[in-house]
Structure 1
Amino acid sequence: MNRIAKTNMLIAAASLPLLASCGGGASEPEPVDEAAVTARSAPVAQEFQQKLKTQLVAALTNGGPDSAVSVCSQVAPAIAAAASGESGAEVSRIARKHRNPGAGVPAAMGSHYDALAAQPLSDGKPAVRIWRSGEDDDARIHYLSAIPMQDQPCSVCHGTAVDPALKQHIESLYPGDLATGFKPGDLRGAMLISWQADIFQ
């Protein structure tokens, strides 16, 4: 091989990495700092759950299950809106078997929700999924935390033996309700905390 041919081969080999970086190949997704996402998201999810539980227990104690369902229908959206405003994230609850149709599982999140359904608890705590979606200005980081079914007080309104009169009241507030029939340990739903990705840069 003469000197010119050998030089051309060296130039071509050196150009490959540059061509690969400039070409149309799929770029690797940016890594997600799960510790940072958890540190910021877990308190938001926990505070939401605690505020809602406090009001539901009070309603159950003072007015019974009908009152608790009525209170939940009013205060849960308000707590979510307040948590969103205070944190800067989008805070909501989603579920396959939902009470409110607006709280269904988005198709793009289905695999993450199903993973929680398969294992709602991890080391005795609600399981979590963290991932990135979108690109550039639309990029978001999602924190999805399982809400496992608890025996009390959840089973009164969500369990396998909901009183027929209570079920009728539930359906008067939530036509087409799907959120009953759960056993302790089942995935009843999940807390969804979604952030703009640039917050964690």
Structure 2
Amino acid sequence: MSMKQARKAAVLLLLLAGTSSAAAAPQAPTAPAVDAELMARSDALADRFQLRLQTALRTAIAEQGLPGAVSVCSTLAPAIAAEESAASGARISRIAARNRNPAARVPRDVQKHFAELAANPVEAGKPAIRVWETGRGASATVNYLRAIPMMGQPCLSCHGTDIDKPTAARIAALYPKDKATGFMPGELRGAMLIRWSRSAPAQPD
């Protein structure tokens, strides 16, 4: 083998070695290591919250009409969030960019993820979900965000484009700064936000 051929062979071996090392190098994770159990608990919490609230609202509509349901929602939704948070060990809330209650505004660290849900509220036929982690070590928090797409009736009766006068008057009385009307079916109405602390394991159901 000539000197020139030997140099080419050496260069080729180095390139092959570099390619092999790059292929073997672990890739940086793109999402937090959230186990299946935590995801299942988050799904169950979001489902339970929504079911409790929807059941209560349907009952209130049947017994008190739409204006009465608005009043029930104003007190019941925060109460359900507090109860489910205490029982699970998580921090549960409903948030929205076009919120009814100003306390439900989208936190700064959630805004990017909320915007992604707004662009695609439904994925694979289900409400879209985003999961990410903030902080490090024992102080880390796993954040679970699930879209609440705008549905049909009775949701449109309080959040749509054609709200009757008595219901609109009750909304205005309870929520002077309301921004949660004018929605069309399929739009992102809001989202369920569930935060888990890594240092505080979830309580058993």
Q: TM-score range by the shorter chain?
A: 0.7 to 0.9
- Mapped contact 2:31–2:131 kept (Cα < 8 A): no
Q: Deviations 1:138-191 (Å, cap 9, x if unpaired)?
A: 310010000001111100000011123321210100111000010001100000
C-alpha RMSD of matched pairs (Å): 1.8
* C-alpha displacement of 1:34: 5.3
* C-alpha displacement of 1:28: 7.4
In the alignment, the residues of structure 1 paired with residue 71 and residue 62 of structure 2 have an alpha-carbon distance, to the nearest angstrom, of: 14
SS at match of 1:167: helix
SS at match of 1:64: helix
- Mapped contact 2:67–2:166 kept (Cα < 8 A): no
Report what 2:87 is aligned to.
86
Greater displacement, 132-141 / 50-59: 132-141
Runs (5+) with no aligned partner, structure 2: 1-27
In the alignment, the residues of structure 1 paired with residue 109 and residue 171 of structure 2 have an alpha-carbon distance, to the nearest angstrom, of: 29
Q: Deviations 1:118-153 (Å, cap 9, x if unpaired)?
A: 000111111100000112343100100000011111
Report what 1:40 is aligned to.
41
Identity %: 49
Report what 2:5 is aligned to.
none
Distance 1:142 1:108, change over 3 A: same
Report what 1:181 is aligned to.
182
* C-alpha displacement of 1:85: 0.6
In the alignment, the residues of structure 2 paired with residue 30 and residue 42 of structure 1 have an alpha-carbon distance, to the nearest angstrom, of: 18
* C-alpha displacement of 1:63: 0.9
In the alignment, the residues of structure 2 paired with residue 55 and residue 117 of structure 1 have an alpha-carbon distance, to the nearest angstrom, of: 27
In the alignment, the residues of structure 1 paired with residue 112 and residue 35 of structure 2 have an alpha-carbon distance, to the nearest angstrom, of: 18
- Pairs within 5 Å for 1:17-166: 31-33=32-34, 35-166=36-167
In the alignment, the residues of structure 1 paired with residue 145 and residue 29 of structure 2 have an alpha-carbon distance, to the nearest angstrom, of: 23
* C-alpha displacement of 1:31: 3.3
Report what 1:12 is aligned to.
none
* C-alpha displacement of 1:44: 0.4
Q: Deviations 1:75-109 (Å, cap 9, x if unpaired)?
A: 11110000001100001000000011010001111
Q: Which amino acid aligns with 2:67?
A: D
Report what 1:23 is aligned to.
none
SS at match of 2:170: helix
Report what 1:13 is aligned to.
none
- Mapped contact 1:132–1:197 kept (Cα < 8 A): no
TM-score, normalising length: structure 2: 0.80
In the alignment, the residues of structure 1 paired with residue 196 and residue 150 of structure 2 have an alpha-carbon distance, to the nearest angstrom, of: 26
Q: Which amino acid aligns with 1:99?
A: R
In the alignment, the residues of structure 1 paired with residue 71 and residue 165 of structure 2 have an alpha-carbon distance, to the nearest angstrom, of: 16
In the alignment, the residues of structure 2 paired with residue 34 and residue 98 of structure 1 have an alpha-carbon distance, to the nearest angstrom, of: 31
In the alignment, the residues of structure 1 paired with residue 197 and residue 179 of structure 2 have an alpha-carbon distance, to the nearest angstrom, of: 31
Q: Which amino acid aligns with 2:186?
A: G
In the alignment, the residues of structure 2 paired with residue 31 and residue 42 of structure 1 have an alpha-carbon distance, to the nearest angstrom, of: 17
In the alignment, the residues of structure 2 paired with residue 185 and residue 45 of structure 1 have an alpha-carbon distance, to the nearest angstrom, of: 19
In the alignment, the residues of structure 1 paired with residue 183 and residue 176 of structure 2 have an alpha-carbon distance, to the nearest angstrom, of: 18
Corresponding pairs, count:
174
- Mapped contact 2:133–2:143 kept (Cα < 8 A): yes
TM-score, normalising length: structure 1: 0.82
